[in-house]
Structure 1
Amino acid sequence: MRPESENPKSYNDLISLEPNQSISLLSQKGSYLTYVLFIVALRIIVGVFEDDPGNAWTITNSVHNLVTYIVFHWIKGVPNDNQQSSLALLTLWEQLDNGKQNTITRKFYTLVPIFLILIANHYCVGKQFWFNFAQFCIILVAKFPLMHKKRIFGIGKY
């Protein structure tokens, strides 16, 4: 049992005492390169089935945005049952770097969708631009520090 001075006073104190070990993988050495290599592999796989580079980059961008939105901003909690009580209401993005904003890890995972939309919109034409832009807005707004622990219209609150 902890002495009284070490007992957490707030929810943020509780998070800092029990960091999610699964989240720490995202900021370890080599994780950024692995993430980029997964995106390159996805683009190569899509390129096998789609000849048009605009369509291929739009599909790559769409799959990336959908998967990262679900994994980073929708699913809450942790895979380990022993930590579930303190982190059950937080998404992976909210748990990243113990909730600290503007860290190198958060900046990296924010810059990737920016580069993807720039590449996709360089190759696309017409309505694809607006499709890519709408996805980009959704994924970027979810990463804003202003949105930390916020749920739009109560979606994903529980």
Structure 2
Amino acid sequence: MDEFARMMSMEGVRPLDSTGNKFRRVVKRPSPVPNQPSGPSLELEPCGHAWVAGKRARTALETALERLASEIRIGRRGWATGILQDGRTVTLPASSGAASLLGTADRQSLRLMIVGGEGWTFVMHPLMGVATLDDDPA
């Protein structure tokens, strides 16, 4: 998990349990003067994405599956996809629950599980036991 944490910190993703906004991303702000080219006025802004591990990752998976089920009930589209080690994708039986999905992930050695709906995405690396559940950027 140390390699995953290092990769996430390089991308500006903070651990969910951290306090404060240690990790920040650089954003370019437009010039306050109209018709003036925006120069190198870069500012730091906190990132909103976070990841969890262990039992909290399973809870995030359960939350994503509940969210997917409720969206499907009201007629919205959603999906549950697994990515195999060789890059091929498989459709996951999201309605069968978290335990079944984790069993499938283990049997098929899934690299990633992705569950999503309208405006949100859940991504889990089942072998590492880490996950993120976030609303998509506007």
TM-score of the aligned structures, taking structure 1 as reference length = 0.26
From the two aligned structures, give the one with the greater strand fraction. Answer: 2
From the two aligned structures, give the one with the greater helix fraction. Answer: 1
TM-score of the aligned structures, taking structure 2 as reference length = 0.29
